[in-house]
Amino acid sequence: MEKSGLAEFNVKIVESCLVPPCLPLPRCTLYLSNLDNQPLVRINSNALLVYEGCENALADPAKTIREALSKVLVYYYPLAGRLRKKEDGKLQLECTGEGVLFVEATVDNSLSVLGDLDKLEPSFKKLLFRFPSDTAIEDVHPIVIQVNHFVCGGFVVAVSFQHMVCDGRGIGQFLKGLGEMARGYVKPSIEPVWDRELLKPGNISVHDLESTKEKIETLVWQARTKVLEISHTQNVSISFAVDVKRSFNPPLPNGYYGNGVVAASAQTIAHDVINQPLSYLVNIIKKTKISLTNEYLRSIIDTDRFSSNIYSNQANIILSDWRWLGFDEVDFGSGSPVNISPIYWNENGPNISNGFVFVHSPKRKFDAFKAIAWMPSQEFNLLEIEIKAIINKYLVNGSRC
């Protein structure tokens, strides 16, 4: 939720450097698939991983992570390269071996200044190195890592990655591998697979997609539509990423860290979203997922026809579920993160004004989760009221949904 900043702290950059793989690797140019080049993923994604100080805390987290980074890049060597544009405008990756941008910083406060990351404070931007918005894609590193030391002994690892190079599960796999190398592993437990050629047009066959959980998505869709007071006759939609890695025949191999998702959008009029029972909306979402047939998937990959306007339409809600990406399993030697949060900012503030991200609650409290939204505080307060009312109607009172 966007709110004017109350959490103020100073961040001092100690060192900024490029970390290359610790072994020399051959230079080459790698193919990026149409799924890597789709408009949906031509974005920069950012995450904050929070680690408390404890008895077995790392003496020097930045040094440990930096040394582990040089080792894990031997296996994830494309991430030490740079994106390049082809004549047709599509991207490919040049393995230059230049390295990952690594930043070490200190913070003049304790982790308590962050709270539970429930409020999107402008000061949080200081925890993450960001290239200027007008930086050419060739000059933006695929991965940037900033390690922030807090005076309490805790630290925050901020990760920025180009979604065109790997999807959410892919970056989660990379970070888990980085943590394993920090803990003394000889190699990552899951060996990474590049092999984007597997998704070259004409090379694929697809199984039918499996259905997933829809009730949480439906609840948020209904509540937000009510809060925005959208005209009852207006079309509204809910967009979400569908992982299709296991739907290919044969499935993409274990360790594949390229983009394996496509966007799906369920649509109806605002009146039905607000007034119909949740079961009605769940069925709409299920039918949308079923419509992603093997013929459809083959078609969009072969012909490169992807939706590109989901971020611009305020009547559209975009949902992303980070609970299954593996971020909560990233252990650099002192345990898993106690909190995880996305952070999206441009020069004027949050840049995904119609987005919601589901993450695990801090320290996995009560086996719950939280939804992070980018919207003004007043609207968010109304959203909370609507969500509680819907939960009370369908769960507490035992009504059918």
Residues recognised as catalytic: 163, 331
Q: Residue 174 CB: number of other CB atoms within 10 A? A: 26
Buried b (16+ CB within 10 A) or exposed e, 51-82: bbbeeebbeebbebbbebbbbbbbbbbbbbbb
* DSSP notation for 218-245: HHHHHHHHHHTT--TTSEEEEEEEEE-G
Q: Are 351 and 345 in contact (CB under 8 A)?
A: yes
DSSP state of 338: S
Between CA 49 and CA 56, with CA 50 as vertex, the angle to 5 degrees is: 120
What does the CA dihedral 36, 37, 42, 46 come to, rounded to 10 degrees? 10
CA separation for the pair 168, 259 (Å, rounded): 8
CA separation for the pair 145, 158 (Å, rounded): 6
The pairing of beta strand 143-150 with beta strand 100-107: parallel
Q: Are 379 and 226 in contact (CB under 8 A)?
A: no
Nearest residue to 327 (alpha-carbon basis) of 161, 207, 200, 209? 161
CA separation for the pair 373, 244 (Å, rounded): 26
Q: How far apart are the first and last CA of the chain?
A: 28
Nearest residue to 105 (alpha-carbon basis) of 68, 151, 71? 151
Q: Which SS3 state, helix, strand or coil, does residue 322 take?
A: coil
CA separation for the pair 192, 386 (Å, rounded): 43
Q: Are 239 and 317 in contact (CB under 8 A)?
A: yes
Query: How is residue 77 written in tokens?
Result: 């060597």
